[in-house]
Structures are given as C-alpha cells and as structure tokens.
Chains A and B, each alone.
Chain A
Amino acid sequence: GAVVSQHPSRVICKSGTSVKIECRSLDFQATTMFWYRQFPKQSLMLMATSNEGSKATYEQGVEKDKFLINHASLTLSTLTVTSAHPEDSSFYICSARGGGDNGYTFGSGTRLTVV
C-alpha cells in the first residue's frame, strides 16, 4: 500500500533555532501534501496545503513566515519551523493525497520539543 515517510520522528531544539521536517511519498507521486499540528489530547489541526511547484495555501491563523513549506518535487514536502519557541512544541503530521483508493495517506508524525 501507499507509504508516507516522515523524518525525523522526534526532535529537540533550542528556542530561537529553526527545524526542518521532511515528508516523502515512497511509492507514489503526490502533487498535494498537507501539514497538520496536534497538541496533547486534541485533534489534528490543518495548517497548510502544499502543492508541488507552487506556493502553499495556509489556513486562517497560521503564520506563513513562521512555518515555511516547500514542495519542490512530486515526492517531497518540507516544513520548516523558524525561530522556534516553546509554544511551537507539538506533534506535526503530514499527509499526501494519492497512492491508493483511500486518497490520503498520513506520515507517522514528528514530535517537536522546543527548550
């Protein structure tokens, strides 16, 4: 079946630094990928839609200059959290559209801790 690989699975960074998270579709091409954020005991919140070769579309209230998204190829999208602060600590999950009947395959998530 369709597989989406997300890396790293865990990352700890110092406040003020930037962190890049990668999302790869391993066995299919994904023109569209999605980035979600999930705080403890809460649901997934859609942050942005990433389209290959064009600018990402951000959901209302999400700072596009803080959460930089690049979708340079049909199999890779990256999310960079710039100038990270402790309140950015969260579980970040990507999803790729395509690769099977269900249409949306999710990565295993990245737990970001900013200290």
Chain B
Amino acid sequence: DAKTTQPPSMDCAEGRAANLPCNHSTISGNEYVYWYRQIHSQGPQYIIHGLKNNETNEMASLIITEDRKSSTLILPHATLRDTAVYYCIVRVFGSYNTDKLIFGTGTRLQVFP
C-alpha cells in the first residue's frame, strides 16, 4: 500500500512558485522520499529524492520536515510545461531485502498563464 497522501489537484500561475505537499507519517528511518512527475501518456520523470536533509537540483527543491512525516516539493518558477501529475513516493523494502517504489495517487498540477 502507498505510504503517501497528496492533494488530488492544485493550480499555480505561470512564473510563480508551486509548492506541492506530501504526508508520509508512517515512513521508516531508512526509507527515502522520491518525487516523480508524469505528463499525459508518458513514463514518469525523475525530479528529486531525499532522506533527511533538504535537497535542491536544477529542477526543484525538496523540503523534508525534521520528523520526516511530511515533505514539500517546490518548483521555483512554474511554467506551462510543468503541468503534470506529481507523485510523492516512499521507497519501501520488500521481501528478500529488495527495494521498490510504490506510487500514491499523486497531485495533478495545472499551471495557468
């Protein structure tokens, strides 16, 4: 079962920052938080991931709360091409110590002009 909850949809004006929240209150100490996005009928695209510390790359920033029960993905200057479904994922460990990504329901971000 997915270990994350996200709002189903959000809107953002072009050029403004998009802040996408995610709750993962049952996350374990060794489980990473991953963010991917999916544009219609394509495979998911990696955005960023982290464990405890805040992370930043050329696409986005990831802010993880100190208790690790929630995180926020920040797209600093949203463009129309950022319109997509954004998935917050906790990497879980299955049987035989294998790890895997279990997707939640995601947030549909609509960037408008």
Check B100–A46 contact: CB distance below 8 A: yes
State whether the Cβ of A28 lies closer than 8 Å to any Cβ in chain B.
no
Q: Looking at chain B, what size class is its interface with the partner chain?
A: 20 to 34
Count A/B pairs, Cβ under 8 Å.
55
A49 CA to B101 CA, complexed, in Å? 10
**Closest chain A residue, CB of each to CB of B57:** A101
A44 and B96 within 8 A (CB): no
B41 part of interface (Cβ distance < 8 Å): yes
CB neighbours (8 Å) of A95 from chain B are 44, 101
Chain A facing B: main interface SS: strand
Among all A-B residue pairs, the 3 with the closest Cβ atoms: A106-B43, A102-B46, A44-B103
CA distance A70 to B24 in the complex (A): 33
Q: Mark B64-106, 1 if CB is under 8 A from A, else 0.
A: 0000000000000000000000010000001110111111111
Residue from A6, A45, A93 in contact with B44 in the complex, judged by beta carbons closer than 8 Å = A93
For the A-B complex with A91-B41, A102-B34, A102-B49 known, give 16 more contacts whose Cβ atoms are closer than 8 Å: A6-B43, A34-B100, A34-B101, A36-B103, A43-B2, A43-B87, A43-B104, A44-B87, A46-B100, A57-B95, A57-B96, A102-B46, A103-B49, A104-B46, A104-B101, A107-B43
